[in-house]
Amino acid sequence: MSRASAPRAGQDPAPAFHELIHAPVRLRICGMLRPMSEVEFSVLRDTLQLKDANLSKNLKLLADAELVKLRKEFSPVRDDARRLTWVSLTVKGHAALAGHLAALRAIAEGDPAISG
């Protein structure tokens, strides 16, 4: 797990509610990935207390929407053929999450103009 570079200062995203990200598991995934350059699958699974199948299904939805990138590599400490899966937010994913969080803040502050 490693930290990502900080977002550029002075750039407030436009509020944009994102239905795909809004689902609780996917919002938690994106929130965890937000400050990191990438996170290994098992770290996401264990931290978020999800089953492999549930995390895989939600990552596939996010990957199909090009919001996350999945990278596979062989583990240097394993002798079998299983590979590690690394997950990161894409540029599009960072922008979508920032817009979604801005929309949630606007909704919480009573802005009736925010729509899904």
The predicted-structure confidence for 46-76, as pLDDT tens digits, reads as follows 999 999 999 999 999 999 999 999 999 987 7
Q: Which domains does the chain have, with CATH numbers?
A: 14-108 (1.10.10.10)
Per-position b or e across 36-50, b if 16+ CB within 10 A of its CB = bebbbbeebbeeeeb
pLDDT of amino acid 63: 98
pTM of this structure: 0.83
- Output the DSSP codes for 63-82: HHTTSEEEEEEE-TT-SSS-
For the chain, what is the mean pLDDT?
88
Return the residue matching tokens 């965890």: 32
Q: In 3-state terms, the chain is what percent helix, strand and coil (to 5)?
A: 45, 20, 35
Looking at 16-25, 43-52, 73-82, 105-114, which range is the least confident one?
Answer: 73-82
